[in-house]
Amino acid sequence: MTMTTYRPRAVLFDLDGTLIDSIPDIQEALNDALAERDIDPFDRASVRVMVGGGTGILLERALLRRGVSIEDTERDRLVSRFLEFYEPRASRLTTLLPGAPEALAACRRRGMKVGLVTNKPAAPSRSILEAFGLLADFDLIVGGDAGPAKKPNPDLLLHAAERLDLSAGSCLFVGDSENDVEAARGADMPVAAVENGYTQLSMDEMAPTYRLASLHDLDALLEALPQV
């Protein structure tokens, strides 16, 4: 991946595992949807390693772990049912991760554009940000239902950069998982990975451009990069 030597003009953030800990609400909605089909529930640790690919992938992983096979039409109904459970309460148990508001404020203070690029659908993403008073900090929200292929495909990131009228290389993506790093690598976009995210891989295995112990460190990273 090409490492930028200049301060980015925009910072794009992942949502789950980067800005928020959403596992408790996802777990409840998943288990409620599965319970209607008499499928055993999952604990939070199990859900944590299944998220990251979007709602459809989450349900596929859950069914696979339970040894359940269903037709595509039934899977689509299950996805819809999960969203019916999840969207009305997407911020009930969800919490902000340390440094999230400060990281967004640091970007705004430096005059950078701020975007959200997530595999989660846009509607619950917006409602979560609004619940925490962060929606106004974003110039752009690109959800997994925007049209382009989801991460780890780079298309969502490229779509976001295009909408901001910027090159991918002039943006910085902040994420937490191998999906985020792989998507950024495919887009030729520098990526900062936050430790302790929704991944089983180490930082060395993911090999992001930059490493952040927490979002509190983003301001120092931006300060260290020279302006164009």
Does position 5 have pLDDT exceeding 80, yes or no? no
> Are residues 15 and 65 part of one domain?
no
- If one counts every other C-beta atom within 10 angstroms of the C-beta of residue 15, the result is 22
**Distances in whole angstroms, Cα of residue 91 to Cα of each of 59, 134, 181:** 20, 13, 26
The pLDDT of residue 4 is: 47
Does position 199 have pLDDT exceeding 80, yes or no? yes
CB–CB of 153/189 below 8 Å? no
Q: How far apart are alpha carbons 154 and 182 in whole angstroms?
A: 8
What's 98's domain CATH number? 3.40.50.1000
Query: Which residue among the candidates 14, 137, 176, 180 is catalytic per the annotation?
Result: 14
Structure tokens at 73: 């039409």
Tens of pLDDT, residue by residue over 109-119, are 999 999 999 99
Question: Residue 125: inside a domain, yes or no?
Answer: yes
**Distances in whole angstroms, Cα of residue 23 to Cα of each of 57, 95, 104, 182, 224:** 15, 9, 22, 22, 33
Does position 36 have pLDDT exceeding 80, yes or no? yes
Does position 141 have pLDDT exceeding 50, yes or no? yes
What's 73's domain CATH number? 1.10.150.240
Tens of pLDDT, residue by residue over 162-174, are 999 999 999 999 9
- The mean pLDDT value for 107-132 works out to 97
The pLDDT of residue 6 is: 76
Catalytic site residue 14? yes
The pLDDT of residue 96 is: 98
DSSP secondary structure of 24-84: HHHHHHHHHHHHTTTPPP--HHHHHTT-SS-HHHHHHHHHHHTT----HHHHHHHHHHHHH
Does position 1 have pLDDT exceeding 60, yes or no? no
- Structurally, the chain folds into a number of domains equal to 2
Tens of pLDDT, residue by residue over 88-102, are 999 999 999 999 999
Select from 35, 68, 89 the last residue of a domain: 89
